[in-house]
Amino acid sequence: MSAGRPPPDMLFSPASGDFTFVSSTEAEELSGTIDAPDVKLNMGTDAGKDPYATTFLRQRGYGWLLEVEEEESEDSKPLLEELDIDLKDIFYKIRCVLMPMPSLGFNRQVVRDNPDFWGPLAVVLLFSMISIYGQFRVVSWIITIWIFGSLTVFLLARVLGGEVSYGQVLGVIGYSLLPLIVISPLLLVIGRFDLVATVIKLFGVFWAAYSAASLLVGDEFKTKKPLLIYPIFLLYIYFLSLYTGV
């Protein structure tokens, strides 16, 4: 052995201390056994089921037939949230239409800028219900006039240079039927007095037309405002005629 060279047992000694290397003569004196761990495989079956069928399927490569996927339970949302119905928003828009005066402090532009479908539909259906008079076909006719009348106003507004969408016009025209619903009980009470009834009808039509026109007719129309206000006014006169039967 040359000087300065470490002995063999020092040359193969591990630094971590996890293993110990021994010489071949020392290894002959060692003996022992290794116990196999008790491993149980979860084959996806209970103890009461037939293990032979399970083993047969897995050996043939059809073990995927025994796998069962557990679906994650999702929290059920409320019905109003599923249908995207905000009752507070609808109630606020109703107040904006029924009280169109700017001095009352309502942000009336929300009726136009944040349109919805269920609120105007509910108003139109309510107006249809009070206009039935035993004829259910009136309901579909009023809904048809609402849809196509709003489409006419929308097309006219776009031709005149207005920046509105059909959804906005549909919502505003639908919500603005509320004044006609408000005056309907009065017409039932004082319907015998023709002069008073006519005044109330005109008041309801002007109220509804002003609520809709103040939201749809913006500054972009400038001198063309009467061209859009007039068809809106005629549309509510027609709605009132469907209710009164005139």
* 181-203 pLDDT tens trace: 888 888 878 867 788 888 998 99
Per DSSP, 171 falls in state: H
Contact (Cβ atoms closer than 8 angstroms) between residue 196 and residue 190: yes
**Comparing 246 with 137, which gets the higher pLDDT?**
137
Q: Which of 124, 120, 126 is CA-nearest to residue 143?
A: 124
What is the chain's Cα-based Rg? 41
What is the residue extent of each domain of the chain?
116-244
- Tell the residue number behind the tokens 């021994």, with chain if given: 22
The pLDDT tens digits of the residues spanning 119-154 come to 888 888 888 888 766 456 677 788 888 999 999 999
Q: Enter the pTM of the model.
A: 0.62
Per DSSP, 124 falls in state: H
Q: Which of 152, 232, 238 is CA-nearest to residue 201?
A: 238
In this structure, the dihedral spanned by the alpha carbons of residues 108, 233, 143 and 166, taken in order and rounded to 10 degrees, is -50
Instruction: Report how far apart, in Å, the C-alpha atoms of 119 and of each of 70, 95, 246 are.
Output: 40, 12, 27
Determine the 3-state secondary structure of 15 from DSSP: coil
- Among the ranges given (18-32, 121-135, 210-224), the one the predictor scored with the smallest mean pLDDT: 18-32
Looking at the chain, the whole-number percentage of residues with pLDDT higher than 70 is: 64
CB within 8 Å of 57: residues ≥ 6 apart: 63, 65, 66
| Whether residue 171 has pLDDT greater than 80 | yes
